[in-house]
Structure 1
Amino acid sequence: MTATDSPNSSDAPANEATRAVGIDVSKASLEIVVLGRDADRSVARSIPNTKDGLDELQEWIDWEVEVDFEEVHVCLEASGGYERPVARYLHEQNLTVSVVNPRRTSAYAESQLNRSKTDPVDARLLARFCQREAPSPWQPASSDQQDLKDMTRGLQSLKKERDRLKNQIDRSNSPTVTNSLQSVLKSINEQIDQLEKAIDEHIQGCRSLARKQELLETIPGVGQTTAALVIAELGDPERFESAGQAAAYAGLTPAHHTSGSSVHRKPRLSKVGSSRLRKALYFQAISALRCNAAIEAFGDRLAKRGKAKLVIIGAAMRKLPHICYGVLKNGTPFNPSLHPGT
């Protein structure tokens, strides 16, 4: 993310009733900027990214900046998980907190013709973005949901490493190297088995997660592993207003590119969303095109219209989160009659 030294006065703030706070989060420290009402004045501070530092942040906002918590809107950037404890702590203090996609703030920074990048300047940019854009409030996942997300992401990482080692073994011409790699591969396979068992036990130990998995597994083409990942990444379906929003969260909505009468590019998947969820749905879409009557009929209809194979797979991928959202939202098993040819 980059930042700018001067605000764009032509942009009218959308969040004038609150005091915008930007926090640039790193592993060791928090750079904080609190904007004044006119966005030209601000106060800044750097504190350690620790529990004591967060307590210090609360007291600083309350006593030194003299702003009521009800008037504060804090904006943080998703930064590989470092932002999560900070966001949860501030949420517990009844502050309005937003955790924004770095692509949004990066685009905003570019629109401001930024020339500098430092942690304090980044924090100021986040505060200005918060004041002008008023991003949606963040809601923390339940501890069971967060634990499941951590485990499924860990499982994905192990499987990625397993595939990398397999490829390396296939390319190796040295028996010594091959034996060493096979020993590591055996250990990773054991860890994968253990983690898959732990994920299953975790889901079965939580009634709400177990019910969601049961519902998702009624969808032909969605297996146990994918169901767990969908639950982990999609989260509570109530946070989406529609199935379309759930598909957009996975980056599976079409992105159109047309301009005037001369630029008419083919629509593509936006890919602005959860890459983990999108990757999992790719393989399940291929499976669903063979074993899910509704998705299969949909694919056949697209094939008759001359659509390419990858286009059909992409369309099936987009339909799967719609169906997953429907069964989770309504709390009812998959009913193919509700999706005649989708």
Structure 2
Amino acid sequence: MHIALDAMGGDHGPEGLIAGALLAAKEADLTVSLVGDEKLLHSHFKKAAPESGVGSRIHIVHSSQVVEMSDNPVDAIRKKKDSSIMVAFDMVRRGDADAVVSAGNSGATLAAAVRRLGRLKGVARPGIASIFPTVKKPVVLMDIGANVDCRPLHLFQFAIMASAYSRSHEVVKPRIGLLTIGEETGKGNSLVKETYAMLEQSSLNFIGNVEGRDVYKGDVDVIVCDGFVGNICLKISEGLVEAAMKMLRDEIVKSLAAKIGFFLAKPAFRAFKKRVDYSEYGGAPLLGVNGTGVVCHGKSDATAIKNGILGAATMVQKKVNSEIVKTIATESVERQVEV
């Protein structure tokens, strides 16, 4: 297994990305290519590699350009053809790597994947999925921002792709919910209503509508929505966790009793923080692309990068793309027969 890591992406520079690559190589039998400015990466790598014991499985591939977080995704991949993210996907296209992981500009990562690898057969629009923690087990939500304007076919295919990804996490028959403003049939805009009809007539395990308050209940395995709604859902969730932790800290310092209570409950608070920490979930997979890619949070630390690399390797091993192509083909035939 060979993963190409965009070592120039992310908010904290190459140091944390290299540390994550070393952790992944230490934990699993894989090779990681760090793609980026060769001189810069060598200087950071020399400091970290001797302690790891896995330096021989880490390679450096030079690229002369970087896509910044502020860059327009489409313009960036058109003008910066030797950027680290483009070079990484070139490696997959040539067969030199099995997957790409990036903590850089997510729009540019998806655009580069589509430009270099194309779409899977039958896929109208690739998208980005994300894993959300719930009170039971994690749920996959798709799309989280790649496609803000969608048609019913796109949402229907998001359900197929997210279900295939969910199955790679040992969910045998993922339960699918459609995110809208009410549980009852007929609630929502025309996009939701038409998508509901398509899902209801399919062989997918569709259980009906779910509301925003149901996202964290864990009663479904997959939640489908357009990228506009999904991105808002994602950002509200991130903001809520940060606000809740800050409010909790503010209350703890108000009294001695609260401080003592916190000290006694410290293991529980630590476990809760880990449960809602995005770094534990291995990044957001690009689904529908004719290859494998994972987008990590821009603030990702070494643990998050490690989990992103391991997650990408799992997607390749579990043949998620083959599952997507097979299911799309089956559903297309079934709908044609019905018509």
TM band (smaller chain) = under 0.3
Decide which structure has the larger Cα Rg and report it. 1
Question: Normalising by structure 1, what TM-score?
Answer: 0.28
Q: Relative contact order: is structure 1 or structure 2 higher (C-alpha 8 Å, sep ≥ 6)?
A: 2
Question: Normalising by structure 2, what TM-score?
Answer: 0.28
